Amino acid sequence: MKSHDDVSRTSQLPRGTLAKISLGQSFAEYDKLLTKPNVFVDTPAIRAALDPLKAKCFFVGRRGTGKTAITYYVAQKRPKSSALIAPQIFAPLGKYFSTGEVNDPRQRELKSLVVCFKRALADEVIRGWTRSGLYRFRRAPIDIGRERNLIEDYDFDSRLIELFDETFHALKSGNEREWLRCVNRSKDICCALDGIAEGSQWESDLLIDRIDESWDGSDNAVLLLMALMHSCVELTTSVQCVKPLLFLRENIFERVRAVDREYSRLETFVVSLDWTRELLLELVERRLNLPLTAKLALRGPTWQAFFEDSREFSSQEYVFEYCQFRPRDVLTYCSFAIEAAQGRRHHRVALEDLQAARKRFSDNRFKDLCDEYSENYPQIQMVLGRFYGLGREFTLNGMTSFIKKLLVDEEVKQYCATWIFKYTQPERFVELLFSVGFVGVRTTGGIVYRSLGPQSAALPALTPATTITVHPTYADALNLQNLLIGTLDEATPLQRSGIVLDLPGAVDLNDYNNRLNQLVMGLKTIPHGEVAASMFEDLVGDILRLCFFRALSNVEHRVRDVDGRVIRDWIAANTASGGFWETIRVRYHATQVVWECKNYADLEASDFHQAAYYMTKEIGRFVVIAYRGETKQFYYQHVKRVAAEKDGGIVLLLGERDLAVFLRQALNGKNREEHIREIYDRTVRLIS
C-alpha cells in the first residue's frame, strides 16, 4: 500500500485526458489497437513464438489469454514469412475413420492422419514461398513439381480432403504399394524443403489458430487434433526452415492429453499462456499511454495517473484480485470503469467507477464462462445459473444438497443429460466447477483457484470440513449472498430468475432446441435442386431468426423493391450494437443484410452478378449467399470482381457446413461470432 506522500506525488494528467482514453477491444480479432506500435507486452509466450531455437509449437491457454494476439504479433514482425491457417475441417474429416481404429500413434490409421497433415502443412509453406516471389516451380525438384497442383489450386482444407481421399483409399483397399507411396511422399517433400531454403528469409511460421471454429467435441475431432499435433512435432524436429505454431484452447488440449498414449512426445513442446500481475499491469499501461504525447513510466506511474488510490484503498488490488489473471478480463473491467468515469466527467477513475463496473463485468464474465465451455458441457449455463441467490461459500455437504436438487430439476435433466450424470458425486462435481474456474477451495494458505495454464495445480483434497468458494467474479451476476451454505432445505427450490436465457422473441428453451434440431435434420435431408429450393429458403430463414437474432431483426421473405423487379430471398435489419455485425454495418453501410439462397452445391458467375445487383446505396454493399456446397478457390475471383465493381462491396459465402456450425453452436448455448468472422477475414485477405 502506498503512503499518503506517494499518492500526493502521483503524476497529474492534463485536463480532459481521460475523456480521450480507449483501451480497445478485449477480443483480439476486433482490436484495432493491435496494429499500433508498442502495444504488445513481451511475455514468455511471445518470446517462445519468435525464437527459432526454441522447439515450442503448442501455445495453450483459456479463452482470453492472448492466443490470437500472438498470431497478430508474429504476423506483424514477419509479414513475408508467416501464414495464418484456420482449419475448418475437423468435423467433415471424421468420416474417414472410426474412433476404435485409431488409438495408437504407431497404428496405420493414425500414421495416415499424421502424414496427411504433415504434407498439407509442407505444401502451405511452398505456397507462401511462391506467393512472395521467393520460389518458382520451373526450378523445382521432381518431388515438389509433382505437388504443384495441390499447392496452387487448393487451400489448406481442400488439400487435406484430397490427401485423405488418396491415403485412406489405399489403406482400406489393401493397396500396400500405394499407401507406402503416400507415406514416403510426405517424407520426400519435407526433405526437399530444407534443400530449397537458402537463408533466413526462407524461414516460415505456420500460425494455426481458431481450431474451435469447426470443433464439434466428438471423439473423431479429438483424434484429428492429436494427429495434427504429432505432425507439428515432426515438422519442427525434421525441417529446419519451418516452425508450426498451434494455438489451442485449454479445454480442447485436455481432451487430447486424456487419450494420447504418446502424450510424452508432445509435452515438451507446450507453452502455457500464463500471465502475472506485473504483465497485466503493463498491458493496461501501454494502452493508457497510446494517446499521450509525453508517455508516462510503466510499472505503476501510468496506472497511478489514471486510477485514484488512498491509504485505505488500492485500485490495483481492487481490479487484479477480482479478475482471473486473464488479459481479456482485465481489459474488459478497466474499460467498463473508464466508461463509467467518462460518463460522470471524472478526471481519473475513482472507486465508485470501479464499483459501478463490477455488475456489468460480472454479467459479461458469467456469459463468457458458459460460452467457453458449452462445447464440453452443453447448456452449462443452466447448471451454473441455479446458484442464483444462494451463498458465496458451500460446505461439501451443502454442495451435496445442491446436486440433489439439480438431479430432480426437469430442465437440467433434459438439456444437460449428456454430461451431468457423470458428476453426481460431490467430489466430481466440485472438481468440474474448479476446472472451469467457477469455484475455489479454501485451504490453510488461503483460497486456491484454478490457474490458467495446462500445468496448473490439481484440485486440493476435499474433506467434510472443506469450504468451496464461488469466484468473486460471478458473485454480482448471480446475486450471491455473503453466506456459507451447509445444507439446502428440501422445500427450497433453486431459483431460475435473474439469469436470463438469450433466446429470440417469446420462444422457450424447449421449443427453441426442438426447432434447432429440426433444422439440423432438414439440412441433412432436404434434397438439392429446384424442386426443394423453397424448402431450403425456409430453412435459411429459420437459421436467420434463431441463430442471428441478437444482431439481425425484422427478417422478411421474398422482399420486392418498389418497382417489383428485384426479389430478395431474405432481408434483415442490421441492428447490432457491437461485434462483427456492427463492423459490417459501419464498413459497408449495411443497414440491411440481403441473404440469397442457392439450393445447389456449385455456384456460377451469374450467382455473383445477382448478389452484386442487390448492393445499393440505401441498404449497403454486403450480401450473403447461402448454398449447399464447399467454397472453391475460384469463387474468390468472382468476389474480387464484385468488390471492384461495387466500391469494395463484399459477397460472403456460407456453405452447408457453415450453416451446420451455426446450428450446433446455438444448440450448445454458444453465443459467439468467431466462425462468421473467420469466413469474412479469410474472404477479405484473399481478395485484397
Q: What is the structure's pLDDT at 560?
A: 53
Q: Which of 452, 327, 473 is nearest to 33 (CA)?
A: 327
Q: What is the structure's pLDDT at 455?
A: 53
Is 260's pLDDT higher than 60?
A: yes
Q: Which stretches does DSSP call E strand in 108-174? A: none
Lowest mean pLDDT across 11-20, 125-134, 346-355, 642-651: 11-20
Is 527's pLDDT higher than 50?
A: yes
Average pLDDT of span 342-357:
90
| Separation of alpha carbons 69 and 59, rounded Å | 12
% the chain with pLDDT above 70: 90
| Separation of alpha carbons 348 and 18, rounded Å | 7
Is 468's pLDDT higher than 90?
A: yes
Q: What is the pLDDT of residues 159-169, one digit of tens each?
A: 998 999 899 88
In this prediction, residue 521 has a pLDDT band, given cuts at 50, 70 and 90, of very high
Average pLDDT in the chain: 85
Map 213-264 to HEC letters.
HHCCCCHHHHHHHHHHHHHHHHHHHHCCCEEEEEEEEHHHHHHHHHHCCCHH
Q: What is the structure's pLDDT at 562?
A: 46
Tell me the domain boundaries of the chain. Answer: 4-21+279-372, 75-259, 380-485, 509-687
| Separation of alpha carbons 183 and 202, rounded Å | 25
Could you give the angle at which helices 327-343 and 351-372 cross, rounded to 10 degrees?
140
> Is 547 or 491 the better-scoring residue by pLDDT?
547
Q: What is the structure's pLDDT at 1?
A: 44
To the question of domain 509-687 being in CATH 3.40.91.30, the answer is yes
Task: Phi first, then psi: give them for residue 554, nearest 5 degrees.
Answer: 50, 55
Is 514's pLDDT higher than 90?
A: no
pTM of the model: 0.72
Lowest mean pLDDT across 76-85, 87-96, 159-168, 648-657: 87-96
In this prediction, residue 94 has a pLDDT band, given cuts at 50, 70 and 90, of low
Task: Phi first, then psi: give them for residue 453, nearest 5 degrees.
Answer: -85, 165
> Is 478 or 8 the better-scoring residue by pLDDT?
478
Q: What is the structure's pLDDT at 5?
A: 45
In this prediction, residue 7 has a pLDDT band, given cuts at 50, 70 and 90, of very low
In this prediction, residue 103 has a pLDDT band, given cuts at 50, 70 and 90, of low
Cell of 298: 510503466
Residue 658, C-beta contacts closer than 8 angstroms, at least 6 positions apart: 675, 676, 679
Check: CB of residue 58 under 8 Å from CB of residue 253. yes
Is 102's pLDDT higher than 60?
A: no
Residue 423, C-beta contacts closer than 8 angstroms, at least 6 positions apart: 403, 429, 431, 432
DSSP one-letter code for 629: S
b/e for 228-252, b at 16 or more Cβ within 10 A? bbbbbbbbbeebebbbbbbbbbbbb
Q: What is the structure's pLDDT at 59?
A: 94
Q: What is the structure's pLDDT at 4?
A: 42
Average pLDDT of span 326-331:
91
| Pairing mode, strands 242-249 and 204-208 | parallel
Highest mean pLDDT among 135-139, 361-365, 508-512: 361-365
The identity of residue 54, as a single letter, is: K
Q: What is the structure's pLDDT at 577?
A: 66
Q: What is the pLDDT of residues 282-304, one digit of tens each?
A: 999 999 999 888 889 999 999 99
| Pairing mode, strands 391-395 and 467-470 | antiparallel
Lowest mean pLDDT across 211-225, 359-373, 446-460: 446-460
> Is 187 or 2 the better-scoring residue by pLDDT?
187
Q: What is the structure's pLDDT at 500?
A: 42
Q: What is the structure's pLDDT at 559?
A: 57
Q: What sign does the dihedral 169-174-176-177 (CA atoms) show?
A: negative
Q: How many CA atoms lie within 13 A of 598 on its CB side?
A: 21
Is 13's pLDDT higher than 90?
A: no
Q: Which of 491, 492, 509 is nearest to 500 (CA)?
A: 509
Q: Which of 464, 374, 292 is nearest to 672 (CA)?
A: 374
> Is 197 or 457 the better-scoring residue by pLDDT?
197
Is 98's pLDDT higher than 80?
A: no
